Copies of this chain bind each other. A is one copy, B any other.
Amino acid sequence: MDLRTAADTGTKARTRRAILDAAVTVLTADPAASLGDIAAAAGVGRTTVHRYFPERADLTTALQQMGWEHVVQATRRARLTEGTGADGLDRLCQEYFELGNVLMLVFNYSAPDGDVTWDCDPDSQSVLDLITRGHRDGSIDSTLTGPWIRDILWALLYAAWQQSRTGVASRHQALDSCLRALHKVVAP
């Protein structure tokens, strides 16, 4: 017998995923949305939400964890150890941009819930290492500290996503603007 039951990849997993996905969408639009709103958006009953996440905190915790897993995977896909530091940063920006709403949620949930800023997560160090490599190979301005560049990256991504979300620019235009701004900032 398996520790995880067979249903773990079946109906239950799908329902859980639907709730989490809906939560990302709804909570991004309104961080104070009720569980009923989330249930409605997920197309399930409020009871079902409570079945999967007994308390609201359980849901937000799961959301935060899922969000960070996405960020970690995106960081991995960016292959930070290949090419120059600036190249890696470029790929990282593109991967993060693809995360969309998940990114905004992780961004916003860092402060209010717990002060678990993005300093303490496992992949943050690899980003700082990337920047250090960029400092050494001359592709990143050495006068800009690692944490500051990382924060600029997130800030630019936030602004770019706002642009795309509000229809000021298309998704592609927003990403393009973001990448160019990042290039100019980190260039020595």
Binding site for B on A (CB under 8 A): 30-32, 112, 117, 141, 143-145, 147-148, 151-152, 154-156, 158-159, 162-163, 166, 168-169, 177, 180-181, 184-185, 187
Contacts and interface: CB of A to CB of B under 8 A. Distances in A.
B32 A144 contact: no
Contacts of A31: 31, 112
Majority secondary structure of chain A interface residues (helix, strand, loop or mixed):
helix
A124 B181 CA distance: 21
Contact of A169 (B148, B158, B162): B148
Contacts of A117: 166
Contacts of A147: 163, 168
A69 to B, nearest CB: 24
Nearest to A112: B30
B159 A151 contact: yes
| Nearest 5 CB-CB pairings of A with B | A155-B159, A155-B155, A151-B159, A181-B185, A184-B185
A151 B162 contact: yes
A150 to B, nearest CB: 9
A166 B181 CA distance: 25
